[in-house]
């Protein structure tokens, strides 16, 4: 992970569809060199994947909610995790410090679907209680912060 790797990561976080040739121009290496570096970043787990950023309302996921989960005393967190992982509506899952062990970000199409999700969560073994906060709007999300040197 030298400065060039950081620049590559920055560039790809900004636009994952840049060609290797373009990346090469930006960092001042040849295309094959960039190709090899990016390949290593991928296989070493630095770059986990490439994703299109899509407006959720446009694909019928207009309701965003953040749900905190309090675990039963004696519940097994690993089992719970597996139960959560199965629910596709849960886009993100954090294990938290504090009373609420998990914090979930969920996206659904309607409030009715959110209700169903919450019911299902409360029925999940190990869940003592849930607390749901609804996002009225997403101002921005997953904005990449630059880590490399400033782009000259």
Partner DNA sequence: ACTCTCCGTGGACGCCATCGACCTGAGCCT
Partner DNA sequence: AGGCTCAGGTCGATGGCGTCCACGGAGAGT
- Residue 17 CA, chain-centre distance (Å), reads 18
8/24 Cα distance (integer angstroms): 9
Does residue 27 bind a copy of itself (CB under 8 A)? Answer: no
Closest CA to 76 of 102, 103, 105, 94: 102
The yes or no reply on residue 89 touching a copy of itself (CB under 8 A) is yes
Asked if 11 is part of the footprint of DNA (rule: CB under 7 A), the reply reads no
Taking the complex as a whole, the smallest distance from the CB of residue 48 to DNA amounts, in Å, to: 18
Site membership for DNA, residue 37 (CB under 7 A)? yes
Residue 74 burial by CB count (10 A; 0-12/13-18/19+): exposed, middle or buried?
Answer: exposed
What tokens does 9 get?
A: 């990561």
Q: Report the nearest approach of a copy of itself to the CB of residue 151 (Å).
A: 14
Window 93-132: residues binding a copy of itself (CB under 8 A): 93-98, 100, 102-103, 107
By CB under 8 A, is residue 75 in contact with a copy of itself? no
Segment interacting with a copy of itself (CB under 8 A) among 22-30, 48-56, 116-124: 48-56
Pick one of DNA, a copy of itself, none as the site partner of residue 20 (Cβ within 5 to 8 A by kind).
DNA
138 vs 64: CA distance, rounded Å: 8
Closest CB 73 distance from a copy of itself, rounded Å: 18
Per CB under 7 A, the list member of 12, 31, 87, 90 interacting with DNA is 31
Phi-psi label, residue 29: left if phi above 0, alpha if psi -120 to 50, beta otherwise: beta
């Amino acid at each position: 992970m030298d400065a060039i790797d950081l620049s590559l990561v920055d560039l790809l976080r900004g636009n994952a569809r840049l060609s290797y040739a373009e990346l090469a121009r930006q960092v001042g290496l040849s295309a094959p060199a960039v190709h090899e570096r990016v390949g290593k970043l991928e296989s070493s787990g630095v770059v986990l994947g490439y994703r299109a950023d899509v407006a959720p309302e446009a694909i019928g996921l207009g309701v965003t909610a953040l749900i905190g989960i309090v675990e039963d005393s004696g519940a097994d967190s690993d089992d719970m995790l597996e139960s959560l992982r199965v629910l596709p509506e849960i886009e993100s899952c954090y294990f938290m410090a504090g009373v609420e062990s998990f914090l979930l970000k969920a996206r659904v199409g309607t409030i009715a679907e959110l209700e169903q999700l919450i019911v299902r969560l409360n029925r999940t073994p190990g869940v003592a209680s849930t607390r749901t906060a609804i996002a009225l709007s997403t101002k921005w999300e997953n904005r990449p912060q630059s880590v490399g040197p400033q782009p000259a």
